[in-house]
Amino acid sequence: MILSDTFSGVGKIMKCPFCGNIEDKVIDSRKAKNGMVIRRRRECTNCKKRYTTYEYIEEISLMVIKADGRRESFDRKKLKNGILLACTKRPISMEVIDDVVERIEEKVNNNFIREVKSKVIGEYVMKELRKIDEVAYVRFASVYRKFQDKIEFLKELDELKQ
């Protein structure tokens, strides 16, 4: 089980996702994403189960400009959930999905300072999914591009064949 946590310099209490106990011990800590994230393997002192947490440094919030002009904060969880939905019942490991999310987040953070259009993020997702699984790619594309009829869908499949 993976828990994401935003690290803000204030001590946070981690609850075991299995039994709810608030006491654990850190077994392993590693830096990730060029030192911007700390990955910790923890073991609950009560049930002895292990889980992973990630601590992120709070940064200036990147805003996503939606198609209708609304703006909302970039949400890593929302990105991951969209990819997970496209990958439902596909032979794609969570490790691969986490890697895809990390690559996309890194591209967004490296190429945009304050704002990014949701269309750009969607294109990054489609490019990554196309590399790992064609079915997941078509699923995501059908929602992202809002296919209106089967002709648009078949056109996308024809492009995928080539």
Do 153 and 73 share a structural domain? yes
Confidence of residue 9 (pLDDT cuts 50, 70, 90): very low
- Per the structure, the count of domains in the chain is 2
Range of the domain at 108: 63-161
pLDDT digits (tens, 9 = 90+) for 21-36: 999 999 999 998 778 8
Do 75 and 46 share a structural domain? no
CA–CA gap between residue 147 and residue 140 (Å, rounded): 11
Amino acid at 9: G
Interior/surface letters 9-47, b for 16+ CB within 10 angstroms, e for the rest: eeeeebebeeeeeeebeeeeeeeeeeeebbebebbbeee
Of the candidates 57, 78, 98, which is a domain's last residue? Answer: 57
Do 142 and 110 share a structural domain? yes
Do 40 and 70 share a structural domain? no
pLDDT digits (tens, 9 = 90+) for 92-123: 999 999 999 999 999 998 998 899 999 999 99
Do 70 and 52 share a structural domain? no
Do 126 and 46 share a structural domain? no
Do 153 and 79 share a structural domain? yes
Of the candidates 57, 74, 101, which is a domain's last residue? Answer: 57
Do 73 and 11 share a structural domain? no
Q: Note if the pTM is more than 0.85.
A: no
